[in-house]
Structure 1
Amino acid sequence: MASILSTIASYLPQHEGLLPKWLLFISAVSIGNSIQTYATLSYTARVYSENPSLKNPPKKSDSTAPSSAVSAYSHPTSTVTPLSARTFGTWTLVQSMVRLYAAYNISNPQIYQMAYWTYVIAFAHFMSEWWIFGTTKWGAPLAGPVIVASSSLIWMWLQWEYYVQ
């Protein structure tokens, strides 16, 4: 058992502190999230559960869309399509790779900054979808990414001088 744990530990980032391990963990979770966006729409549709155009749906006589248009989605009030889910998954995978590199190269200022920017972009994306575009609402599906992005931003900001010398 001890040899298994030491083998696993040898693959973890070797820098001191928890931030590199956090970046690795979030990377792994995000890679899993990327894979699921290719397999199903259901989880992505939970985050983007609001379709602003359906808040005031047109009257039946005004509708030009076929009645089956909404049923093509996994969630009838979601704006998520197979293409948007895969695009989101690819975007998440790119961010995961940057964070993965940062976990193992955390003392490199350029890589640290790139990882930091991935959280800035993620935070800006989710907040704009909530506050500006109205495609999501506050709840557990949105809280997760917002809390991870904001806490990682604060943590990385505070730890810059510790890791980047």
Structure 2
Amino acid sequence: MEHVQEFVTKYLPIPSLLPAWTLLVGTTAIINGLQNFLGDSGSKLVYIKGAKKGLVNPLQARNFGLWTLTAGVVRLYAAYNITNAAVYDIAIATYVIAAVHFFTELLVFGTCGLTGGAISPIVVASSSLFWMISQRAFYLGG
């Protein structure tokens, strides 16, 4: 694991864990976003209850894919510009939006279930959000 961290961080301007994590999450989001253009099977895993109600379709998957792709690009940019306050805050906003979205789909709208498809993005968005907020002063100097 240490070798992977060294490999990834040597390409980042600040070789530390938060930019490396942000790079990983951004890359994953881009891959997932592109996957949603190929079909709606991934969205059906996330919105499992919505899929049973016929709410998940190719158009919804592509819209979800566009959001995920956009968030991924922002996060990649943040990984390489972790000391830029505007970029840092926009990256935080992507996690806020994702957390609110998945929590409301789970608790309010009932389209997500307690499965890996929904729990994974909730955990990633929530933990990344708290991590970025807690480290903001460190990376932005105050």
TM-score, normalised to structure 1's length?
A: 0.77
Deviations 1:65-88 (A, max 9, x none): xxxxxxxxxx55452111100000
Moved over 2 A (4+): 8-12, 75-78
- RCO (CA 8 Å, sep 6+): is it higher in 1 or 2? 1
Q: Which residue does 2:81 correspond to in 1?
A: 105
Paired residues in the alignment total 136
Indicate how the Cα distance of structure 1 residues 9 and 150 shifts in structure 2: closer, same or farther if over 3 A, else same: closer
Tell me if 1:33 matches 2:32: yes
Distance in 2 (CA, whole Å) between partners of 1:35 and 1:78 is 22
Contact preservation (8 Å) 1:45, 1:78: no
Q: 1:16 Cα shift?
A: 3.4
The percent of aligned pairs where both chains have the same amino acid is 40
5+ residue gaps in structure 1? 52-74
Q: Which runs of 5+ in 2 are unaligned?
A: none
Q: Which moved more, 1:14-23 or 1:100-109?
A: 14-23
| TM-score (norm. length: structure 2) | 0.89
- In structure 1, the partner of 2:19 is 20
Alpha-carbon distance in 1 for matches of 2:67, 2:122: 16
SS at match of 1:14: coil
1:69-108 matches, within 5 Å, as 76-108=52-84
Over the residues paired in the alignment, what is the CA RMSD in angstroms? 1.8
- Higher fraction of helix: 2
1:125-164 CA deviation, whole Å, 9 max, x = no partner? 0001111111111121111100000110111011011101
Q: Deviations over 1:32-65 (max 9, x none)?
A: 10111011211110110113xxxxxxxxxxxxxx
